[in-house]
Structure 1
Amino acid sequence: MEEGSDYRPWDELIPDALGLIFSNLSLQEKLTVIPRVCKSWGKVVMGPYCWQEIDIEEWSKRCQPEHLDRMLPMLITRSRGSLRKLCVSGLHSEEIFTFIAENAGSLQTLRLRRSEMSDSMVEQFAGRLSMITFLDVSYCGNIGARALEAIGKNCKLLVGLCRNLHPVDTAGKPLEDDEAYAIASTMPKLKHLEMAYHLISTPSVVEILSSCPELEFLDLRGCWDVKFDERFLMERFPKLKVLGPNVIDYYEKYDWDDCSDSSDAFEYLAWEFMAGEMGDFDEDDDDSYYGMWDDEGRLEELELRFYEGIDEDAGPYDWPPSP
């Protein structure tokens, strides 16, 4: 190469480096643009370098179920056993859960919000999730204490659990402490726990605090029957941050600029995927949302993570006014 030349041999970068670069691109770009640039780039996006972390949660909330059933196995297969993080929403078939479990040997972070797995399915596959350190099963209405107990007994490295419920699903129902006691009895290493809008009582929460000595953050928003004296918490658990149980209404503005895949991109991706343009590449071919009013009507700044990812198009998951 001549000295001072602007030429850079991008196609000669090692796959690891290219994969690191491509991981910053959108799902659509990795699947439809990069493979068409050159053979070496196409091989990279076909290999595990780009798919050690798979986050298609936003896309999966808007795609058709049959598109998700085809997309997710394809991406997981590309990871070739190196998958460390998976974020997806609305899984519904036992085949998909089986496929995830069979490829979870290196999985550490797993988000399965609004998915339809059952207690028996979780009990069946929990043994294959032994490396999980963070799990999000929020708004999964078909699981309960049995599933959480199976997770706790098999996922010994678990330090973070999100098990938030939707207030519409729990309104008017009696107290149910079984999930809280399942967490307390099987997850002693928890540092981060979210249980917003659970129908739990103060004794069950005390049991969690006593059984999880490393707990640093506890989300109890909407858990109206939990009553704590602030001085008691500060004296007994000085390192613990508790959010809730009181919730104050506010409106969240969803920032589409933070999402690299626009709605048009989602539609294009689904169309092209179904048209067969995303088949395997043949090498022979050429967190913070702000804005709350305090009790005196003054505007405070408080980070609200519970509502993360919910937008005006979320349909039945729009948040109702707090009690």
Structure 2
Amino acid sequence: MEVGSTRSWDELFPDALGLIFKNLPLQELLTVVPTVCKSWGKAVMGPYCWQEIDIEEWSNRSEPGTVERMLRMLITRSSGSIHKLCVSGLQNELVFSLIAENARSLRILRLPRSNMSDSIVEKIAGSLSMITFLDLSYCYKIGARSLEAIGEHCKQLEGFRRNMHPLITEDKLSQDDEAHAIATTMPNLKHLEAAYLHINTIGALEIIRSCPNLKYLDLRGCWQVKLDEEYLKDKFPNLTVLGPYVVDQYERNNDDYEDWSDFSDSLYDYESSDDDDNRFGELEFRFYQQSDEDATYGWPQSP
């Protein structure tokens, strides 16, 4: 190549294309990019575009079966190179096993609103040893057993989100066993969200005293927790505690957050707006599958 000449886009290496394409919306990445040229189609089929899989927003308004088919396809394409995975509302135990089988590079895992059980978490926790941030908010079928399994196997865990919905957990008598599990098995936590978790003051203090690196603790809606602000300021000057009284999420100090994930989510279930639906819509699964005749990258026309 002559000095001063530039490389054509279709001549870029797949890893370079992956870095560029990962910034595109999911729909364009799956339906538009592959139609441009063979090299772009090949890049989308390979692992470089899928080291970060974030379909949480889309999965919140899609059918569970469609979400699971999409996730299986993307995980297969990633070839075990996933660093970040965000998806909501998983229902099938086999999908959790698939995630665990491809988790050797996984650092950030967000599975809110998923229908997992203590038994499945105990089964897969050993494969999540590299996790640094985990979100199991609104997963109502798991409890202290799951948290203990995670804490025992995920020694690098620094951020944990276990927010609950106040209307669904209002009948629970206590979740202090979860607070104890966090305190005794997750000593390296820096960021913990436990909004509307039914814990008391003893449980909250056990977490604070057992996690010396803790910088941020979200206790909004934990009405049984009564903390002495002067005591916290004196004994734990680097700790920011939010709650138990509920404040607007935009009152948070963003400087207290690490860049594990997007910590600005609402505590309530996601409700898509009409604008969101018009912008993204329901992707049809036929766009995602590569047919037997696709050897020449004859991708379907983009919508």
The secondary structure found in structure 2 opposite 1:35 is helix
C-alpha displacement at 1:134, in angstroms? 0.3
Q: Does residue 267 of structure 1 match 2:281? A: yes
Matches within 5 A, 1:271-282: 271=284, 273=285, 276-280=286-290, 282=294
Please give the root-mean-square deviation of Cα atoms over the aligned residues, in Å.
2.5
The reply to whether residue 148 of structure 1 matches residue 158 of structure 2 is no
Residues 16-54 of structure 1: per-residue CA shift (max 9 Å, x gap): 111111011000001000010000000001111110000
TM (normalized to structure 1)? 0.80
**What residue number does 1:98 align with?**
97
Residue 204 of structure 1 deviates from its aligned partner by 1.1
Paired position in structure 2 for 1:247: 246
Q: Percent identity?
A: 63
Alignment of 1:220-235 (within 5 A): 220-235=219-234
- State the aligned residue count: 277
Residue type of the partner of 2:278? D
Contact 1:144 1:179 (8 Å CA) reproduced: yes
Higher relative contact order (CA 8 A, sep 6+): 2
Equivalent residue runs for 1:181-196 within 5 Å: 181-196=180-195
Aligned residue for 2:188, secondary structure, equals coil
Partner deviation per Cα, 1:166-215 (whole Å, 9 max, x = no partner): 00022243233000000001001000000000111111111111111000
Change in CA separation of 1:9 and 1:283 when aligned onto 2, cut-off 3 Å: farther
Q: SS of the counterpart of 1:135?
A: strand
> 2:260 matched to which residue of 1?
none
Superposed, which structure 2 residues align to 1:110-189 within 5 Å? 110-189=109-188
Structure 1 residues 265 and 249, CA, compared in 2 at 3 Å: closer, same or farther?
closer
User: Is 1:284 equivalent to 2:283 in the alignment?
Assistant: no
Task: Give the CA deviation at 1:2.
Answer: 10
| TM-score, normalisation: structure 2 | 0.85
Secondary structure class of the residue paired with 1:54? strand
Where does the alignment leave 5 or more consecutive residues of structure 2 unmatched? Answer: 251-265, 299-303
Asked if the contact 1:46/1:280 (under 8 Å) is kept, the reply is: no
- After superposition, what is the alpha-carbon deviation per residue over 1:220-269, rounded to whole angstroms, capped at 9, x for unaligned? 000011111111000010000000001157998x9989xxx941354351
Three-state SS of the structure 1 residue aligned to 2:230 is: helix
Unaligned residue ranges in structure 1 (runs of 5+):
287-323
Structure 1 segment 25-44 matched on structure 2, within 5 A: 25-44=24-43
**Equivalent residue letter for 2:194:** M
Provide the residue aligned with 1:84 in structure 2. 83
Decide whether the 8 Å contact of 1:28 with 1:265 is kept in 2: no
